[in-house]
């Protein structure tokens, strides 16, 4: 039975901005998205050990791994953490100013648990803000977890966390109620959602290194060019003969280098050149031959 696991689902527009992602164990996942002006959005999905988990080593391992992910993110980029932290942070905003707001969900007895102290200390150290605590909503719009048989009090243990300097990018965050009346409902969590006002930028489909090149293939009409091209290819393959088998990528590089050397790039032609008369072409060539100050 799988007890841990995290995932990230992206809308098509956001997926077009995805640069990379990596899974860090069964409790953490990090994705990198491209923003405008050369910035990046780092999204971390987390699932912290439960408060009833007495394995302190597992909790230390989780926050150590999370700290390593945060420390590797440049300060100018946007950090966004989503997940179940199994920690109800309480309303002590005066002692945790900047980390939680005035509208946090109150704890049952007012005393923070070990999970809460771990989360708040972590956020304070890395200048992170728990977003949902800054928005005033009715109690039912703050609840993110409830027991199916209602034997346990409603709590808010799921959080959206963002770098403090980018808190203004989130104009709204709240919980969305899920119906628990059906017996086949396998979750005890409400959905926690927020609005993030950032301008994503689609990743380039091809880089300058892989951009398709056009060669002057008309030169192949001359026999001496064909012979020169064949000799250039043969010489390059003979140089690789000592390496044994030649990989596909190395073979492609041989043909690319020989073609570049012998043929060169295809000349650029104006899309209207073929429609001009020979007399007009001669006049244009004469005009281009004049100094720029003489053009009128």
Q: How buried is residue 55: exposed, middle or buried, by Cβ count under 10 Å (0-12/13-18/19+)?
A: exposed
Residue 74 and residue 184 in one domain: yes
Residue 136 and residue 82 in one domain: yes
Residue 130 and residue 173 in one domain: yes
Average pLDDT rounded to a whole number, residues 205-229: 75
Full domain range(s) for residue 180: 12-195
Residue 166 and residue 279 in one domain: no
Query: Quick one: pLDDT at residue 73?
Result: 92
Residue 277 and residue 179 in one domain: no
Residue 128 and residue 238 in one domain: no
Query: Quick one: pLDDT at residue 126?
Result: 93
Give pLDDT tens digits for 116-170. 889 999 999 999 999 988 888 888 888 887 766 665 667 788 899 999 999 999 9
Residue 169 and residue 37 in one domain: yes
How far apart, in Å, are the Cα atoms of 256 and each of 183, 232, 271, 295? 64, 11, 27, 40
Query: Quick one: pLDDT at residue 209?
Result: 47
CATH number of the structural domain spanning residue 142: 3.60.10.10
Closest C-alpha among 93, 10, 81 to residue 48: 81
The answer as to whether 3 is a domain residue is no
The count of structural domains within the chain is 2
Residue 151 and residue 27 in one domain: yes
The answer as to whether 207 is a domain residue is no
**pLDDT confidence of 182, banded at 50, 70, 90?**
very low
Alpha helices in 97-180, H assignment, sequence order: 114-125
Residue 117 and residue 241 in one domain: no
The answer as to whether 184 is a domain residue is yes
Q: Cα angle vertex 279, ends 277, 283, to 5°?
A: 115
Residue 117 and residue 148 in one domain: yes
- Chosen domain end from 143, 160, 195: 195
Residue 23 and residue 116 in one domain: yes
Q: How buried is residue 142: exposed, middle or buried, by Cβ count under 10 Å (0-12/13-18/19+)?
A: buried
Residue with token string 């003979």: 238
Give pLDDT tens digits for 70-89. 999 998 899 999 988 888 88
**Could you tell me how many residues make up the chain?**
296
How far apart, in Å, are the Cα atoms of 165 and each of 56, 80, 169? 32, 12, 9
Closest C-alpha among 105, 76, 74, 73 to residue 92: 105
The answer as to whether 208 is a domain residue is no
Query: Quick one: pLDDT at residue 103?
Result: 83
Proportion of the chain above pLDDT 70, given as a percent: 80
How far apart, in Å, are the Cα atoms of 248 and each of 215, 242, 245, 251, 252? 21, 16, 10, 5, 6
The answer as to whether 165 is a domain residue is yes
Is residue 32 within 8 A of residue 14, CB to CB? The reply is: no
The answer as to whether 124 is a domain residue is yes
Give pLDDT tens digits for 33-44. 999 888 899 999
DSSP state letters, 243-267: GSSPPHHHHHHHHHHHHHHHT-BPP
Residue 19 and residue 159 in one domain: yes
Is residue 96 within 8 A of residue 127, CB to CB? The reply is: no
Q: Which residue has the higher pLDDT, 64 or 233?
A: 64
Reduce the DSSP state of residue 82 to 3 states and report it. strand
Q: Which residue has the higher pLDDT, 262 or 210?
A: 262
Query: Quick one: pLDDT at residue 41?
Result: 93
Is residue 32 within 8 A of residue 40, CB to CB? The reply is: yes
């Amino acid at each position: 039975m799988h007890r841990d696991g995290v995932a990230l689902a992206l809308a098509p527009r956001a997926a077009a901005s995805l640069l990379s992602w990596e899974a860090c164990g069964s409790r953490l996942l990090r994705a990198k998205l491209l923003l405008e002006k050369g910035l990046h959005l780092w999204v971390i999905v987390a699932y912290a050990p439960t408060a009833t988990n007495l394995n302190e080593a597992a909790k230390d391992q989780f926050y150590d791994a999370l700290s390593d992910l945060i420390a590797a993110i440049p300060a100018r980029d946007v950090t966004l953490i989503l997940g179940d932290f199994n920690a109800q942070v309480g309303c002590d905003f005066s002692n945790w100013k900047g980390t939680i707001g005035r509208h946090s969900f109150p704890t049952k007895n007012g005393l923070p648990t070990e999970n809460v102290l771990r989360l708040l200390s972590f956020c304070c150290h890395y200048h992170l803000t728990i977003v949902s605590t800054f928005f005033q909503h009715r109690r039912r719009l703050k609840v993110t977890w409830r027991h199916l048989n209602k034997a346990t009090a409603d709590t808010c243990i799921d959080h959206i966390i963002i770098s403090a300097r980018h808190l203004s990018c989130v104009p709204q965050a709240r919980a969305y109620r899920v119906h628990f009346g059906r017996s086949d409902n396998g979750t005890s969590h409400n959905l926690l959602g927020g609005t993030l006002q950032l301008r994503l930028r689609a990743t380039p489909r091809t880089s300058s290194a892989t951009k398709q090149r056009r060669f002057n293939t008309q030169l192949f009409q001359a026999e001496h060019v064909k012979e020169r091209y064949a000799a250039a290819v043969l010489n390059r393959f003979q140089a690789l003969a000592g390496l044994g088998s030649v990989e596909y990528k190395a073979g492609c590089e041989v043909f690319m280098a020989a073609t570049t050397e012998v043929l060169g790039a295809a000349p650029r032609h104006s899309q209207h050149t073929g429609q001009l008369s020979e007399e007009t072409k001669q006049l244009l060539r004469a005009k281009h031959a004049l100094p720029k100050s003489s053009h009128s």
